[in-house]
Amino acid sequence: MGRFIKHAGIIMDGNGRWAQLRGLPRYEGHKRGVSRVKEIIRAALRLNINVVTFYAFSIENWQRPKNEVDIIMEILQRELKKETPNFISQGVRFRMIGNREMLSSNILKMIEETESATSHCRQIIAQFAISYSGRDEVLRAIKKLFEKNIKADELNEKLFSSFLDTAGIPEPDLIIRTSGEQRLSNFLIWQSAYSEFYFTNTLWPDFTEEEFTEAILDFQKRQRRFGKVSEFTGS
């Protein structure tokens, strides 16, 4: 059934609140959230979804307490090293979108090594937005246009999209946000122009394969018109 959806974006929200509700340090929520990422990738594989983009760490998240940021980066580095062989065996291609200049050299090295090691994988693309901001992505794309001396009359949506971090990736059909918040928070703001949205009160560490499947089924009941007239209602 998943062929109806090529790309799902997920705003993974609620890790810190999940931990605090249990009297645990916030980083325990981030650790628990990692297991959900793995579960959702496996579910997306079974549903034949081509791309899943996880909003892992925004540019705004750099403003969090240094201790929390350091732990998140440590978890990221450790999990990439551990999961790369599993990505390869499952056919998962890992990609990062975001501002790479803001990452430390050791984190960036691990990310690039994982991207290289999984570049031949074709079953699914697991795309992680790290040090990411939709506005920052658009600004960086504009700078690239200037560097290429693209003239105003040459510019169109297709050409502009080719300068984004997501170049070559289909736009998200569905964006899921956990934890009850109902906003994009600077996630794929160009790419989500015609995305459908699914909001759930479930905190990310409790978001299961079953609820992910429920979100996909909910999406499949919707009619996407892309600004055209509905064939059923005439509206």
Catalytic residue from among 13, 15, 165, 186? 13
13 belongs to the catalytic site: yes
Cα–Cα dist 81/29, whole Å: 20
- Coil vs helix vs strand at 119: coil
Sheet containing strand 174-177, strands side by side: 92-97, 124-132, 51-58, 7-11, 174-177, 196-199
With beta carbons less than 8 A apart as the criterion, state whether 224 and 196 touch. yes
Cα radius of gyration (the chain): 18
> Which stretches does DSSP call E strand in 22-178?
51-58, 92-97, 124-132, 174-177
Strand partners, 53: 9, 127
165 belongs to the catalytic site: no
Catalytic residue from among 15, 48, 50, 61? 61
Within 10 angstroms of residue 76's Cβ, the number of other Cβ atoms is 20
Q: Which residues are catalytic?
A: 13, 61
